Amino acid sequence: MSELRPNPSAQIAPGRQRELLFQMKRIRHVEEKIAARYHEGKMRCPTHLSIGQEAVASAVGLSLRRDDFAISTHRAHAHYLGKGGNLQAMIAEIYGRATGCSRGRGGSMHLIDLSAGFVGSTAIVGNSIPIGVGLGLSAKLHGTEQISCVFLGDGAIEEGVFYESANFAVVKRLPVLFLCENNFYSVYSPLRVRQPVNRKIHELAGAIGLTVAHGDGNNVESVYQITSVAIERIRNGNGPQFLEYATYRWREHCGPNYDNDIGYRSETEFLEWKARDPILLYENLLLSAGLMSCGDVADMQASIAAEVDEAFEFAESSPFPEASEAVLNVYKL
Amino acid sequence: MSELRPNPSAQIAPGRQRELLFQMKRIRHVEEKIAARYHEGKMRCPTHLSIGQEAVASAVGLSLRRDDFAISTHRAHAHYLGKGGNLQAMIAEIYGRATGCSRGRGGSMHLIDLSAGFVGSTAIVGNSIPIGVGLGLSAKLHGTEQISCVFLGDGAIEEGVFYESANFAVVKRLPVLFLCENNFYSVYSPLRVRQPVNRKIHELAGAIGLTVAHGDGNNVESVYQITSVAIERIRNGNGPQFLEYATYRWREHCGPNYDNDIGYRSETEFLEWKARDPILLYENLLLSAGLMSCGDVADMQASIAAEVDEAFEFAESSPFPEASEAVLNVYKL
Amino acid sequence: MTFVQAINEALHDAMAADPKVICYGLGVDDPKAIFGSTKGLKDRFGPDRVFDMPTSENAMTGIAIGAALNGIRPVMVHQRLDFFLLAMDQLVNNAAKWHYMFGGQRSVPITIRLILGRGWGQGPTHSQSLHAWFSHVPGLKVVMPTTAEDAKGLMLSSIFDPNPVLFFEHRWLHEIAGLVPDGDYRVPIGKARISREGRDLTIVAMSYMVVEAIHAIDYLAQHGISCELLDLRTVAPLDWDAVFASVRKTGRLLVLDTGATTGSVGGEVVARVAMDCWDSLKQVPQRIAMPDHPEPTSFGMTRGLYPRSEDIVTTVNKMLGMNVAIEPLVSQRRHPHDVPGDWFRGPF
Amino acid sequence: MTFVQAINEALHDAMAADPKVICYGLGVDDPKAIFGSTKGLKDRFGPDRVFDMPTSENAMTGIAIGAALNGIRPVMVHQRLDFFLLAMDQLVNNAAKWHYMFGGQRSVPITIRLILGRGWGQGPTHSQSLHAWFSHVPGLKVVMPTTAEDAKGLMLSSIFDPNPVLFFEHRWLHEIAGLVPDGDYRVPIGKARISREGRDLTIVAMSYMVVEAIHAIDYLAQHGISCELLDLRTVAPLDWDAVFASVRKTGRLLVLDTGATTGSVGGEVVARVAMDCWDSLKQVPQRIAMPDHPEPTSFGMTRGLYPRSEDIVTTVNKMLGMNVAIEPLVSQRRHPHDVPGDWFRGPF
Ligand SMILES: Cc1ncc(C[n+]2csc(CCOP(=O)(O)OP(=O)(O)O)c2C)c(N)n1
Ligand SMILES: Cc1ncc(C[n+]2csc(CCOP(=O)(O)OP(=O)(O)O)c2C)c(N)n1
Ligand SMILES: [Mg+2]
Ligand SMILES: [Mg+2]
């Protein structure tokens, strides 16, 4: 199995560093706001938050080109925003409005922004994986330089379709990046009841034939560096790559609350991860390195807050689609 | 990945050696006879012969206990006979007669002999694999010492259900033996168009978490030794094992003819394998070791011929099931 | 006792009565215990018989079949039917046919619980009611209870049936309460129940649609219209005798279905009634089912999507040439159109 | 030109006309070339557009969908429909719904060829005709041509249709010959064809059952019975106007189906006709389909299993109160009951 190594010398430009922090803060703020207002009962669809996992989505999004493809899962907000998906259209979609990115048809679990290369997210575990591989096949057939990034979780690894999709991607050397966020849980189920205790997911992926690497999903710079190297390799025609990043979901699997009290995981485990908040870690790093001042951070925060408030106002002030529209788009005419 | 090593010191008793040769010859003779008479058009069902692959079925069958379970694929004749399945009932089934092992319902691809622990074979690639794992789960729940042997081919490895089934067997440490006969082809498709070129199937299985070994599928004694060690490990509660044996199908994928002329594989490749005919190799070994005389071999051959002739007579003289029976057994009452 | 509690009781009773009954599925032993339906099972019967599983629906179905071939009685659950689509090969090519294709030597006593989502943003892939698929496959049994009493009695019958049974649970029924007998009682699979006796018209329904029918019928009764309501309870094998007997009595048929209209079980009922009760029919049979498009997620778009009691009344009006007002019925409704009641606060 | 040659020609024409059309599936480039249907494609269009695949039906379906979302037009093939059961999640949760659930932004132009096995020991899992399943799923199109001409014209329409199309090929039709126009012509999806004009009775059929119907109808014609034959060609969306128009003309309906009886498309046709043509019906509609059990493998057990022209005649006799003898029809038949003709020598 071939391991791929990040390029340590690669220095990240200061501008990019600020973008990394900005993306993470923006995603966090959006999701905190969703959490805060979810109880109002106006966002009436199952909603899976990525709070705590922002580093991967931000770094991967910034490593990809806008015209690269990305496809995701039920937990797609961060991936969508990281890839450059339209914020207002996402919030409107969660509110079920006509201005939503899927015109209200799909809700939180069905995000799309074709102008940003975000082709879609689905609500069936694993079933967007082959879609992403198919996008990679299309890029190869069209002879473009695009790559296809497939976001998946540690649970999706258990679906046979992951294995089948990865095998085909290797056989055809397709430009596909499999991006696995291992947050150690599938709903309330820890890895040990689902996969062999001593398994390393990236090693399994390597045995299928993918070139693999793994890293700390809460260290945004290392995610950025590892991912950039992988993407470069793919673009240079070295075939599909698999990246596993360890990270942690702070809140309940689906919904806005904390649920460390209900017993499937411990408060201590949560606090250990919270202590490694990818955003705080990075913010402190940039501050101490003198790359940003507290003022810069405050401005960043303020601009984000303003943009997010606007997005929610946009959503809430948007109309619902007409009930009569529900019969449309069964077939493309 | 844990590799498992055969026990070289393990000497095979002369009686068992004769049984190994007998099983192989018996299977070969049965299938040669099917091939010879298939054109008569009385065996009206897709029929997949194992001629050339007899060593694995014979050695595995003799390594298993009669009360162990075995489950197989579209190419099941050898596995069924090796496990001790009733010969007459199998031939009658291929002839579609009421005396067939499945009462004519299933044909060549649906063999069963519960008295021999042969629970069934199916015609959908890979779909008997989880059935075998379920049998292993049942043995564990019942607290018996039985193990479940799952025969599969190199093509079935590509089905996600293999991966899912193996993962679960490892998680639950089930008494399951995955027995993969790698004959390098799936119908007319060579491995390279289906799996990564440098893949070793047993290494992939190891990465899933199975304890694995591999060997020469045309060397009946080494198959017997490797398999016996694996079975012992399983019975001692060490969890599922995966064995890959390299072997070769002499005739066409489905049907009685040779088809090296149609272009998907070369005559030379075939001849190289034919030169390593597992039966001739072993017969010569036993003769030169003085463990059997030419007379013994001739007697063995004669008794097999007589038994097989009888089986075909039994089948041909058996009645067809009544057409009216076709409505029965949809539900168990 | 609620529908979901009745299922929990049935599982407890079955597992206590027979050590060969096991129960698994994603989340059976987690804090939510499949909406409470598997509560207490693991503590009482242990981790060997009650366990969580990998997200591997296809293999886990085949594993249930294999275990069943050797005397185990697995009860598997999917929090949404939609996830079970991954296992159609195992269901159709193995479970449904094993008994048949091996000449009746072994059968497959598995029970697969399929929960149907609806409303509150469940959307296109968390809301499908595909019982029509399963009733089209010889060898499968499909039960769709409405009441808590039938839920327990049919769950027990399903678990101890020697054949594969698909047990449908409409999420909107989970909190519906009813009297449930103690102990082991079996509601026979394949027998419908006359939920309301009536003269003028026969309404055939299953699962949640029975609830809407009851609202409609009791309301119509106040206006002197007497409808007979047949709760199918099982859609495969379907209780044709009961359907035909009722239609022969009333001469009129209205079928309700929780699935998409075209190719629905409701359509099969209309077809058989047309073919077998031709001479008894006083007028053209009618069918009310879900529209032929996926369920959208938006609150705005699901308005008017689900056939409700008022739609039933409207159709009955047409059939009987009456015009009972539907407003009173509609105005009774206290909660938004996308939830079954205040108890449902999402997400699933 | 035979049915299978017509498909081969359609594939050649489509791939030549549009570089975005690709073709893959188990064995498309092997010596047998899917019964000849993919012959010459790889040599002409190269290994990037025509390729074999791993035995991974589920992922390979999703991969087709993903490629289609970016402008590729994949044509996938399964040598038996039964294998495709592994891909129901991709088909139903993704292909059928993508256009709908993302608000109509992208559609999924894939064509999936499904070959139906029958007879000669195909047995329980190589013989299923599950078009009723697919017609029950909004968003899918299902075509089931009978003639070589329609095979080519519908294949071209399927490949260039912006939606997912399931293209059924009954194995017993592959060698049936007919006149096939050259070049690019499209047979519209969703339009039935009047195969025989008639007065007394309407026979609605699809795929191979149209052949049996033609034998029956031409024979009945000799006895002065005039049946109209509607070859549906597409079962989803189904051409209801054509069905209703014919039934309104003849007042009598007999539906034939290649699938299991209960829950069949034939049942839906009977139901809709009963509901929409009630006043035109002179008598009770009838349906002839496969029995509700798996197909057994044994030659002895498949005797009388498949509805043939004589069964159609028998039913027409009943419906019209005639009694045309069936023996002459039966005695014409030259080959065993389990093969379509001498050309079929097995195994598949
Ligand atoms: C096929 C299928 N099975 C089960 C579910 C229910 N489900 C929704 S999300 C989820 C957890 C998936 O875990 P993982 O892939 O690790 O993603 P995470 O939620 O941790 O981001 C499950 C089991 C589903 N949606 N689809
Ligand atoms: C799901 C499915 N896909 C395709 C087929 C057609 N098919 C029958 S046997 C076979 C080859 C399987 O190859 P392998 O597993 O290596 O077994 P072998 O024939 O070499 O013994 C295929 C593809 C099938 N029966 N089921
Ligand atoms: Mg996870
Ligand atoms: Mg092989």
Q: Using the beta-carbon criterion (under 8 Å), do B138 and C59 form an inter-chain contact?
A: no
Per DSSP, C89 falls in state: I
SS3 content of chain B, % helix, strand, coil (to 5): 50, 10, 40
Checking if the pLDDT of A103 tops 80, the result is yes
Q: Using the beta-carbon criterion (under 8 Å), do C63 and B120 form an inter-chain contact?
A: no
Distance of CA B160 from the midpoint of ligand 3 (Å) = 20
Dihedral-angle region of residue A96 (phi above 0 means left; psi in -120 to 50 means alpha; beta otherwise): left
Checking if the pLDDT of A4 tops 90, the result is no
Distance of CA A185 from the midpoint of ligand 3 (Å) = 4
Could you give the C-alpha distances from D154 to B327, D192, D242, D288, in angstroms and in order?
A: 36, 12, 18, 25
Could you give the C-alpha distances from B255 to A8, A332, B105, B274, D174, in angstroms and in order?
A: 59, 45, 20, 18, 21
H or E stretch including B177?
strand B176-182
Q: Is D126 a catalytic residue?
A: yes
| pLDDT score recorded for residue A223 | 98
Pairing of strands C193-196, C227-231: antiparallel
Per DSSP, A104 falls in state: T
Q: What dihedral angle (degrees, nearest 10) is formed by the CA atoms of A172, A175, A180, A181?
A: -170
Q: Which residues contact B181 (CB under 8 A, 6 or more apart)?
A: B53, B56, B151, B152, B153, B154, B217, B245, B247
Which chain C residues are closer than 8 Å to B130 by Cβ? 58-63, 65-66, 90
| pLDDT score recorded for residue A5 | 65
Checking if the pLDDT of B8 tops 80, the result is no
Strand order in the sheet with B176-182: B118-121, B69-72, B148-153, B176-182, B241-246, B211-216
Q: Identify whether D347 is preceded by a cis peptide bond (ω within 30 of 0).
A: yes
Contact C258, C210 (CB under 8 A): no
Q: Phi, psi (5° rounding) for residue A152?
A: -150, 160
Q: Closest Cα of chain B to A201: distance in Å?
A: 9
Contact B278, B54 (CB under 8 A): yes
Q: Using the beta-carbon criterion (under 8 Å), do C54 and A194 form an inter-chain contact?
A: yes
What average pLDDT is seen over chain B? Answer: 97
Structure tokens at D131: 């078009």
B151-180 tens-digit pLDDT: 999 999 999 999 999 999 999 999 999 999
Question: What residues of C act catalytically?
Answer: 57, 126
| pLDDT score recorded for residue B202 | 98
What's the distance, Cα to Cα, between the start and end of chain D in Å?
Answer: 21
| pLDDT score recorded for residue A9 | 57
Q: Using the beta-carbon criterion (under 8 Å), do C123 and A193 form an inter-chain contact?
A: no
Structure tokens at A14: 């200061």
Could you give the C-alpha distances from A49 to A32, A93, C124, C126, D341, in angstroms and in order?
A: 9, 15, 20, 19, 61
By Cβ distance, the residue of C97, C263, C270 closest to D265 is C263
Q: Closest Cα of chain C to A51: distance in Å?
A: 18
State the chains in contact with D (3 or more Cβ–Cβ pairs under 8 Å): A, B, C
Checking if the pLDDT of B1 tops 60, the result is no
Residue C211 pLDDT class (50, 70, 90 cuts): very high
Q: Using the beta-carbon criterion (under 8 Å), do A110 and C120 form an inter-chain contact?
A: no
pTM over 0.80, yes/no: yes
Contact D21, D184 (CB under 8 A): no
Ligand 2 in contact with B156 (CB < 6 A)? yes
Distance of CA B235 to the CA centre of its chain: 21
Instruction: Provide mean pLDDT across the span D94-104.
Output: 98
Rounded to whole angstroms, how far apart are CA atoms D299 and B207? Answer: 46
Could you give the C-alpha distances from A115 to A99, A141, A268, D71, in angstroms and in order?
A: 16, 21, 42, 15
Closest CA to A3 of A220, A149, A205, A236: A205
D315-327 tens-digit pLDDT: 999 999 999 999 9
D234-293 tens-digit pLDDT: 999 999 999 999 999 999 999 999 999 999 999 999 999 999 999 999 999 999 999 999
| pLDDT score recorded for residue D183 | 95
Q: Closest Cα of chain A to C333: distance in Å?
A: 19
C270-295 tens-digit pLDDT: 999 999 999 999 999 999 999 999 99
Which chain C residues are closer than 8 Å to A195 by Cβ? 54
Residue C136 pLDDT class (50, 70, 90 cuts): very high
Alpha helices in A49-159, H assignment, sequence order: 54-63, 77-82, 87-94, 129-142
Contact C167, C112 (CB under 8 A): yes
Q: Identify whether D31 is preceded by a cis peptide bond (ω within 30 of 0).
A: no
B45-69 tens-digit pLDDT: 999 999 999 999 999 999 999 999 9
| pLDDT score recorded for residue B313 | 98
| pLDDT score recorded for residue C16 | 98
Instruction: Provide mean pLDDT across the span C98-103.
Output: 98
| pLDDT score recorded for residue B11 | 87
Checking if the pLDDT of C341 tops 60, the result is yes
C140-155 tens-digit pLDDT: 999 999 999 999 999 9
| pLDDT score recorded for residue B5 | 65
Alpha helices in chain C, H assignment, sequence order: 3-17, 41-45, 57-69, 88, 98-101, 131-135, 148-160, 208-222, 240-250, 265-276, 299-302, 309-320, 327-332
SS3 content of chain C, % helix, strand, coil (to 5): 40, 20, 45
| pLDDT score recorded for residue A106 | 98
Residue A11 pLDDT class (50, 70, 90 cuts): confident
Residue D169 pLDDT class (50, 70, 90 cuts): very high
Residues on chain D bordering chain B, Cβ-to-Cβ distance under 8 angstroms: 26-27, 30-32, 51-59, 82-83, 86, 120-126, 291-294, 296-305, 338, 345-348
Give percent above pLDDT 70 in chain D: 100
List all residues whose CB is within 6 A of at least one atom of ligand 1. A 74-75, 123-125, 153-156, 183, 185-187, 253; C 26, 55, 57, 83, 86
Distance of CA B124 from the midpoint of ligand 2 (Å) = 7
Rounded to whole angstroms, how far apart are CA atoms C304 and B21? Answer: 74
What average pLDDT is seen over chain D? Answer: 98
Which chain A residues are closer than 8 Å to D104 by Cβ? 103, 328-329, 332
